[in-house]
Amino acid sequence: MGRWEPNAPERLTRAALDLFAERGYENTTVIDIARRAGLTKSTFFRHFQDKREVLFGGGTMAELLSSALAAAPEAAGPLEALGFAMDAVGREAFTAERREFSALRRSVIAAHPELREREALKGLALTGAMSAALRGRGVPELTACVAAELGALAMGIAYERWSCGSAEEFGEAARQALDEVRAAAAAF
């Protein structure tokens, strides 16, 4: 029976994304998502608060960035540490197997104002997590905030390039975007 199969959150996420792309976000219900995944409505709510949250993965990205920043070489400056963290994101979250999913996710979010708003809030949370992790490394508050903002900008650029296929690996795209952002900031 489908509902006893493993990986319920992943199955629900994939089902939701496919349905959002086929029918639109507004025309898809939690029951539709659960059925498509071969699960029940109660299983859906065991893993997600609502249908929006299916696409946003809780705090896993923030946790990944924070732990990777903490593990960055001690001598690394703030932007170098962020580059190290983005390499970790590429290895663990934005793999070649996830590119098609990520591209579809990006297009579904772009088509719905409610999802764009949620994505913006997630971006703010990621920036906050990066800033806090940098402060945990002893970076002064203002420097940590500026570095996190620049890192978030670079990460957004890299994600767009990687998900649409113009960059082979996320980590490489992130390092390139970080260099471009750093150069642009130096021009002021």
User: Based on the domain organization, do 78 and 18 belong to the same domain?
Assistant: no
Q: Coil, strand or helix: which one is 48?
A: coil
Residue-wise pLDDT for 140-167, tens only, equals 999 999 999 999 999 999 999 999 888 8
Domain that holds residue 173: 56-186
User: Based on the domain organization, do 113 and 38 belong to the same domain?
Assistant: no
Q: Pick from 34, 54, 74: which residue ends a domain? A: 54
| Domains identified in the chain, total number | 2
Residue-wise pLDDT for 39-74, tens only, equals 999 999 999 999 988 988 766 889 999 999 999 999
59 against 95, higher pLDDT: 95
Q: CATH number of the domain that 135 lies in?
A: 1.10.357.10
User: Based on the domain organization, do 42 and 104 belong to the same domain?
Assistant: no
